[in-house]
C-alpha cells in the first residue's frame, strides 16, 4: 500500500508518512515507569491521538494497557453515576474481549457492571473491580483515556477523577493503576469542585495529583527532515530536504497538522498541475509557497476551531490584537487568564518568558480575521487599496515603492489630521489593511516575532515566490531612525536581499511626508514617511 500524508485522525506507520515518535514515547514511558498520573493537554490536531495509539503499542511489552476514548460515551450517559459506569464498563468490555490475560472473575464483573438492567450501580463498585484486576494482573496496568474534556463540565466526571485520586493516594495499601494518562484540549487540573455544599468559597482540584507533562510534541526541523527522507526514498524527487524541512518548520513552528497539511498539498495538489508537472518541481521552495497559499485559503477543522474560539472567548481578541498590531509585548504571567486560554487553544506560545503568536500560518490567518473586523468599520483605506490594486503589480512582481507612495498619499488624505495616539495605536493596522487586497489570494504577510515591539516591527511579504521586507516604525527622532536603518540592513542580509522598505509614522508637525531612497553600502532602502 502506498503511504500518504495524513491529516484525518490518527497516523499509522504502515499507511502514513510520520515523524519518528520513539524519542517522545521513551520520555513518556519514563513517567509511566515512575508511576505518574498526568494529562496531555494540547490544542486541536496536535497529534495527541496519534501519540496515544503509538504509546499503547510501545508500552504493551511491560504493561497491560487499557486505552479508551470518551467520545464513544454519549452525553446523556454522563447524567448519573450509574449510567456512566454502564457506559465506561461497556467500552472496557469491548477492549478486554481481545485480551486473554484478564482473570475470568474480573471479566464477569465488568459484564455485570455494563448491564443496563443492573440498577443503581455505584462508581465504587467499578473501582473495586479495577483494584481487583490490578491486584491479580501479572503486569502493571496503565489506563489511557483520550478526549477527556468531552465530559469535563459535569459532576460525574469530577467524581470519576476523585476516585482515581483516592486510589492513587492509597496505592501503597490498595492495588490500582500504575499510571493514568488523560488527554484533551482543556486542562482538567483547572477544574474546581466544592468540598462540601456548605463551603461556598473553598475549592479543591480533583486532579491535583497530576505530574507536569513537559514532553515537546511539536515537530523539530530534524523530525520533519526524517519524514521527508522516507518520502524521498519512495519517490526520488531530488528535493533539497534541508531547505524544505526548514521552510516547513519556519512557517509552522512544528505544529503537526500544519506540517502534514502542507506536505499533503505539495504531494497531491501541487504536483501534477500545470505549473508543477511532477513531484520534483513541486518539492521546491516555489512549490512550497504554492502549498502555503492553498493552506492559508483552506477551510479546515483546525482553522474553523481557531476562529470559533475568538467568538466563544472574547478576551482572546484583546490578546491577539495587542500582539499583532500594537507592538505591545506581553510578559508571561501564569495568572493572566486570557493568556492561559490563548495557550490552551494553541494561539500563542511562550518564548523567553514572552507571549508570541504560535506560528506564521496562525499569524496570517489571525491578521486576516482581525483586519476583516477592522475593515467593517474602516473600509475607506481597504477600498483604496483594492481600487488601485492593478497599478501595484508589474510583470507579476509587487511594486513596493509604488505601494508606499500611494499609501502615504491616501493615508494623509484620509487621516492626516489625526493625533499621535491614533497613529501609534492603529497606524500599522491601516497599512496592512491597505496591503491586504493587493496581495490577497496571491501572497501573504507576517511579522517577525523578534522584531515586534512598541517602536518597530518587520513585515515580511511573500508574493509569487519573492520576499519583501518592510519595517513599520514609530518615529523617535533622527538618531533612532538611523539605528533603524542599520537594523533593517542587517535584516536584509539575513534574507539575502539588496532592497528593503521602511514606513515611518512621524508625529512631528514639521515632518515631510513622502518617499525617498537611502543607500546603505550595497543595499537600497526605500523609506516612506506619514
Q: Is the pLDDT of residue 513 over 80?
A: yes
The mean pLDDT of 206-226, rounded to a whole number, is 94
pTM: 0.87
pLDDT band at 17 (very low <50, low <70, confident <90, very high): very high
Selected residue with higher pLDDT from 211 and 509 = 211
Q: For residue 501, list its beta bridge partners.
A: 470, 526
Cell numbers describing residue 84: 456512566
| Nearest by Cα to 144 from 271, 53, 27 | 53
Selected residue with higher pLDDT from 257 and 466 = 257
329/452 Cα distance (integer angstroms)? 8
Phi and psi (nearest 5°) for 68? -125, 165
Cell numbers describing residue 522: 550595497
The mean pLDDT of 40-53, rounded to a whole number, is 94
Q: How far is CA 358 from CA 186, 218, 235, 247, 322, in A?
A: 17, 11, 32, 16, 14
Cell numbers describing residue 255: 505544529
pLDDT band at 140 (very low <50, low <70, confident <90, very high): very high
Q: Choose the weakest-confidence range: 266-275, 414-423, 433-442.
A: 414-423
pLDDT band at 451 (very low <50, low <70, confident <90, very high): low
400/497 Cα distance (integer angstroms)? 14
146/140 Cα distance (integer angstroms)? 20
Helix, strand, coil shares of the chain, percent, nearest 5, are 50, 15, 35
The mean pLDDT of 65-75, rounded to a whole number, is 94
Q: What angle do CA 455, 458, 459 make, to 5 degrees?
A: 130
- What confidence score (pLDDT) does residue 378 get? 60
- What confidence score (pLDDT) does residue 325 get? 73
**Measured over all CA atoms, what is the biggest interatomic distance in the chain, rounded to whole angstroms?**
90
Q: What angle do CA 42, 360, 503 make, to 5 degrees?
A: 145
Q: Is the pLDDT of residue 232 over 90?
A: yes
Instruction: Give the pLDDT confidence of 326-352 residue by residue, as tens digits.
Output: 656 688 998 898 999 899 899 999 988
Q: For residue 23, list its beta bridge partners.
A: none
Selected residue with higher pLDDT from 455 and 21 = 21
315/107 Cα distance (integer angstroms)? 49
Contact 339, 333 (CB under 8 A): yes
Q: Is the pLDDT of residue 448 over 50?
A: yes
- What confidence score (pLDDT) does residue 420 get? 61
Instruction: Give the pLDDT confidence of 84-131 residue by residue, as tens digits.
Output: 999 999 999 999 988 889 999 999 999 999 998 888 899 999 999 999
12/342 Cα distance (integer angstroms)? 30
Cβ-based neighbour number of residue 218 at 10 Å: 19
472/458 Cα distance (integer angstroms)? 6
Contact 348, 339 (CB under 8 A): yes
- What confidence score (pLDDT) does residue 169 get? 95
Mean pLDDT of the chain: 87
Strand arrangement, sheet containing 141-146: 38-41, 179-184, 141-146, 64-69
Instruction: Give the pLDDT confidence of 376-421 residue by residue, as tens digits.
Output: 556 788 888 888 888 998 888 899 999 999 999 998 888 877 666 6
Phi and psi (nearest 5°) for 94? -65, -25
Residues 6+ apart with CB under 8 A from 252: 219, 258, 259, 262, 359, 360, 361
Instruction: Give the pLDDT confidence of 169-205 residue by residue, as tens digits.
Output: 999 999 999 999 999 988 776 554 433 444 444 445 6
pLDDT band at 372 (very low <50, low <70, confident <90, very high): confident
29/36 Cα distance (integer angstroms)? 10
- What confidence score (pLDDT) does residue 421 get? 62
pLDDT band at 472 (very low <50, low <70, confident <90, very high): confident
The mean pLDDT of 446-459, rounded to a whole number, is 66
270: DSSP letter: I
No. of helices (H) and no. of strands (E), the chain: 19, 17
Highest mean pLDDT among 238-242, 343-347, 373-377: 238-242
Amino acid at each position: 500500500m502506498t503511504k500518504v500524508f495524513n491529516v484525518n485522525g490518527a497516523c499509522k506507520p504502515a499507511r502514513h508518512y510520520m515523524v519518528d515518535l520513539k524519542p517522545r514515547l521513551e520520555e513518556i514511558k519514563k513517567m509511566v515507569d515512575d508511576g505518574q498520573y498526568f494529562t496531555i493537554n494540547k490544542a486541536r490536531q496536535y497529534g495527541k491521538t496519534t501519540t496515544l495509539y503509538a504509546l499503547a503499542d510501545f508500552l504493551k511489552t511491560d504493561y497491560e494497557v487499557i486505552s479508551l476514548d470518551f467520545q464513544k460515551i454519549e452525553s446523556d450517559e454522563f447524567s448519573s453515576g450509574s449510567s456512566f459506569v454502564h457506559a465506561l464498563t461497556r467500552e472496557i468490555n469491548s477492549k478486554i474481549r481481545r485480551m486473554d490475560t484478564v482473570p475470568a472473575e474480573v471479566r464477569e464483573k465488568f459484564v455485570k457492571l455494563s448491564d443496563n438492567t443492573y440498577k443503581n450501580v455505584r462508581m465504587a463498585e467499578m473501582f473495586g473491580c479495577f483494584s481487583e484486576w490490578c491486584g491479580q494482573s501479572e503486569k502493571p496496568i496503565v489506563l489511557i483515556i483520550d478526549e477527556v474534556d468531552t465530559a469535563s463540565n459535569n459532576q460525574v466526571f469530577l467524581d470519576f477523577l476523585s476516585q482515581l485520586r483516592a486510589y492513587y493516594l492509597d496505592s501503597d495499601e490498595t492495588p490500582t493503576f500504575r499510571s493514568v494518562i488523560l488527554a484533551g484540549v482543556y486542562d482538567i487540573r483547572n477544574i474546581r469542585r466544592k468540598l462540601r455544599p456548605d463551603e461556598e468559597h473553598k475549592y479543591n482540584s480533583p486532579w491535583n495529583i497530576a505530574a507536569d507533562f513537559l514532553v515537546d510534541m511539536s515537530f523539530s526541523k530534524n523530525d520533519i527532515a526524517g519524514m521527508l527522507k522516507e518520502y524521498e526514498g519512495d519517490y526520488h524527487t531530488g528535493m533539497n530536504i534541508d531547505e524544505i524541512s526548514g521552510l516547513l518548520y519556519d512557517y509552522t513552528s512544528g505544529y503537526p497538522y500544519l506540517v502534514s497539511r502542507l506536505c499533503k498539498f505539495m504531494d497531491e495538489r501541487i504536483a501534477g498541475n500545470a505549473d508543477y508537472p511532477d513531484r520534483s518541481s513541486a518539492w521546491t521552495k516555489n512549490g512550497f509557497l504554492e502549498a502555503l497559499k492553498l493552506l492559508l485559503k483552506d477551510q479546515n477543522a483546525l482553522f474553523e476551531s481557531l476562529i470559533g474560539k475568538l467568538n466563544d472567548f472574547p478576551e482572546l481578541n484583546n490578546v491577539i490584537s495587542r500582539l499583532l498590531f500594537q507592538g505591545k509585548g506581553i510578559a508571561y504571567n501564569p495568572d493572566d487568564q486570557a493568556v492561559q486560554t490563548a495557550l490552551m487553544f494553541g494561539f500563542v506560545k511562550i518564548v523567553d518568558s514572552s507571549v508570541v503568536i504560535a506560528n506564521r500560518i496562525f499569524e496570517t490567518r489571525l491578521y486576516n480575521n482581525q483586519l476583516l473586523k477592522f475593515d467593517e468599520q474602516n473600509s475607506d483605506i481597504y477600498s483604496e487599496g483594492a481600487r488601485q490594486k492593478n497599478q501595484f503589480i508589474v510583470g507579476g512582481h509587487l511594486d513596493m515603492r509604488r505601494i508606499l507612495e500611494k499609501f502615504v498619499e491616501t493615508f494623509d488624505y484620509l487621516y492626516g489630521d489625526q493625533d499621535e495616539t491614533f497613529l501609534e495605536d492603529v497606524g500599522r493596522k491601516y497599512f496592512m489593511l491597505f496591503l491586504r487586497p493587493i496581495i490577497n489570494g496571491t501572497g501573504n504577510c507576517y511579522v517577525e516575532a523578534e522584531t515586534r515591539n512598541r517602536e518597530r516591527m518587520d513585515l515580511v511579504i511573500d508574493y509569487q515566490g519573492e520576499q519583501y521586507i518592510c519595517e513599520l516604525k514609530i518615529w523617535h527622532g533622527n538618531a533612532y531612525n538611523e539605528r533603524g536603518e542599520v537594523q533593517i540592513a542587517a535584516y536584509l542580509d539575513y534574507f539575502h536581499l539588496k532592497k528593503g522598505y521602511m514606513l515611518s509614522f512621524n508625529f512631528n508637525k514639521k515632518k515631510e511626508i513622502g518617499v525617498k531612497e537611502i543607500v546603505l553600502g550595497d543595499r537600497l532602502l526605500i523609506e516612506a514617511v506619514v
